[in-house]
């Protein structure tokens, strides 16, 4: 029994909380014993299938099944959910000839499962049983078994699905991640299925999507100090490119460069851009991912990058604020 208090909470309740976490963790670690030939066969069946993965279940297992379907779809394995109760009232039409069917059940003896399984087998589809009782009806009738047996539930009465549903969830994630590896699923593939939100932006947003909305400040090397200050102020980017007659980037001047020049120069009447510009500006090409641009900014501790094409032609400025605005940071 724990010997501390927490906000006046009963020590026995805290002990129950920690015991729940311990039991759930054990239910996950125990799955390592079930990554065997049967698991390998399940993977190969799904990977070689020309159809989809149809997942079914009842009760809490059905909810877990929906999550597994979502994970598979988002990682390149086409999947759909079919509720076991609805399946026997018309939804069996969802199953196509080349589909692999996974039925999830802790007991493997649910009435709905007992009705559903023979119907699936009549269709001739490969049936994978994700089951916590390897002596059950579902286990006996399945072509392949994914064992998710747990020693006990975290529920004090050993009744409410807790450890068992955790094990099912993790087994589903394990399948999905292995299939990603087998399919060579990359970050770019992931981006195709996650175009929305900050995650999607980090995977597909490019420099070319950001810099065109900014001003394109530029001066020639012969520009006067007044011209430089006016251009920098007007663009509100804190910088200007220095370009030649062919519009190729030859340097950069920041407002910091101007301030430092003013601190060290007495006669500024003849100062030109060529006298103060940085000849080695940090550049980036338009098709670069925005997240890679962020890494460059961080690496050099700067707030803007000059955008140039493959021939060195000046295209514009990418500012740190552009990445902040889009939620990349």
- Contact (Cβ atoms closer than 8 angstroms) between residue 243 and residue 222: no
Of 110, 112, 152, 111, nearest in space to 131 by CA? 110
Burial class from Cβ neighbours inside 10 Å (0-12, 13-18, 19+) for residue 109 reads middle
Q: Is 83 annotated as a binding residue?
A: yes
- Map residue 48 onto helix, strand or coil: helix
Residues 6+ apart with CB under 8 A from 87: 56, 94, 116, 119
- Contact (Cβ atoms closer than 8 angstroms) between residue 161 and residue 153: yes
Of 211, 180, 153, 185, nearest in space to 22 by CA? 153
Angle between the N-to-C axes of helices 255-264 and 225-235, in degrees from 0 to 180, rounded to the nearest 10: 150
Binding residues: 83
Binding site listing for Zn(2+)? 83
């Amino acid at each position: 029994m724990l010997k501390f208090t927490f906000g006046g909470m009963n020590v026995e309740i805290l002990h129950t909380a920690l015991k729940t976490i311990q039991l759930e963790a054990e239910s996950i670690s125990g799955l390592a014993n079930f990554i065997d030939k049967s698991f390998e066969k399940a993977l190969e069946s799904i990977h070689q299938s020309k159809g989809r993965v149809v997942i079914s279940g009842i009760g809490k297992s059905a909810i877990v099944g929906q999550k597994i379907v979502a994970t598979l779809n988002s990682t390149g394995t086409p999947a759909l959910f079919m509720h076991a109760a609805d399946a026997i009232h018309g939804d069996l039409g969802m199953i196509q000839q080349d589909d692999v069917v996974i039925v999830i059940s802790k007991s493997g003896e649910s009435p709905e499962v007992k009705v559903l399984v023979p119907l699936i087998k009549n269709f001739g589809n490969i049936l994978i049983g994700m089951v916590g009782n390897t002596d059950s009806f579902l286990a006996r009738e399945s072509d392949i078994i994914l064992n998710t047996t747990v020693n006990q539930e975290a529920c004090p009465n050993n009744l409410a699905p807790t450890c068992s549903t955790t094990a099912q969830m993790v087994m589903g994630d394990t399948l999905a991640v292995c299939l990603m590896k087998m399919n060579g699923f990359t970050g770019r593939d992931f981006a195709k299925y996650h175009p929305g939100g900050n995650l999607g932006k980090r995977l597909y947003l490019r420099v070319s999507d950001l810099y065109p909305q900014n001003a394109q400040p530029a001066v020639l090397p012969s520009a006067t100090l007044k011209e430089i200050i006016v251009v920098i102020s007007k663009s509100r980017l804190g910088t200007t490119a220095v370009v030649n007659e062919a519009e190729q980037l030859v340097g950069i001047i920041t407002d910091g460069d101007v301030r430092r020049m003013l601190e060290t120069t007495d006669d500024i009447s003849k100062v030109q851009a060529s006298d103060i510009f940085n000849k080695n500006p940090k550049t980036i090409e338009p098709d670069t991912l925005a997240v890679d641009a962020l890494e460059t900014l961080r690496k050099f501790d700067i707030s803007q990058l000059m955008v140039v094409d493959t021939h060195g032609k000046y295209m514009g400025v990418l500012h740190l604020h552009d990445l902040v605005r889009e939620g990349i940071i």
